[in-house]
Amino acid sequence: MTPNGVPSEGRALWPHRISGSTRSSNKRAKNQLSLSHRTATTPRVSPSPPNASTARAQLVEVLLRVGQEDRAALSALYTLTSAKLFGICLRICGERQAAEDVLQEVYLIVWKRAGGYEPGRASPITWLATIARNRAIDWRRA
């Protein structure tokens, strides 16, 4: 066997590796090993950072103000949530332009329905993400 993992007969031990140096493969394996070692010894980040309740309370307040037809609140809501909702729309639509159009429709729906939002039933981001998901699926089916 040669140093790069190819038997002297010319057959590779790993048939899925067609050609090229195994150095990069070895680096990748070392990186994966070090990553798995790191994740095993490093404590995981909490899914709910300490300020998550503050962010949720802020979104609830903004969404309730949107329900009272406060345009500044809609602008604030867009600033706080548009990146996440755009990501949802883009993932489902698959096209940037379509995702932008769907996102615009999502905020129109939010403007109309925000008065019916009930904080006790769902978190604001869940409520918004559900609207975005459903609207993007409707676009996909059309």
**Domain extents in the chain:** 1-44, 52-141
CB atoms within 10 A of CB 116: 8
Choice between 14 and 50, residue whose per-residue pLDDT is larger: 50
Q: Which pLDDT score, from 0 to 100, does residue 17 have?
A: 44
Amino acid (1-letter code) at residue 101: D
For domain 52-141, give the CATH number: 1.10.1740.10
Query: pLDDT, tens digit, for every residue of 82-131?
Result: 999 999 999 999 999 999 999 999 999 999 999 999 999 999 999 999 99
3-state class of 16 per DSSP?
coil
- pLDDT score for 51: 83
The pLDDT tens digits of the residues spanning 20-51 come to 444 544 555 455 544 444 444 544 554 555 58
For 42-62, what is the mean pLDDT?
A: 75
Q: What is the mean pLDDT of residues 11-20?
A: 44
- Per-residue confidence (pLDDT) for residue 21, from 0 to 100: 46
Residue-level pLDDT at 36: 46
- Output the pTM of the full model: 0.65
Specify burial of residue 136 (Cβ count, 10 A radius: 0-12, 13-18, 19+).
buried
